């Protein structure tokens, strides 16, 4: 059985803030890599039944 992850509005706002922070303090590439890692990691939530 797998669950669908639904991002709340607040979670999306926080992800935007994280992205902007890393764009300003590291690079756009770093920001994109971190955001994709966090976002796509949620797609791996699987519960064995």
Decide which of 6 and 24 is more confident. Answer: 24
Short-list 12, 1, 3, CA closest to 42: 3
Residue with tokens 């064995």: 48
Decide which of 49 and 15 is more confident. Answer: 15
Q: In 1-49, which ranges are continuous DSSP H helix? A: 9-25, 28-41
pLDDT above 60 (res 33): yes
> What pLDDT, on the 0 to 100 scale, is given for residue 24?
97
The predicted-structure confidence for 1-22, as pLDDT tens digits, reads as follows 666 777 788 988 888 898 899 9
Average pLDDT, the chain: 78
């Amino acid at each position: 059985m797998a669950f669908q992850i639904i991002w709340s509005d607040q979670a999306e706002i926080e992800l935007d803030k994280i992205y902007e922070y890393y764009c300003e303090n590291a690079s756009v590439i770093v920001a994109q890599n971190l955001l994709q890692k966090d976002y796509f990691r949620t797609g791996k939530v699987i519960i064995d039944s």
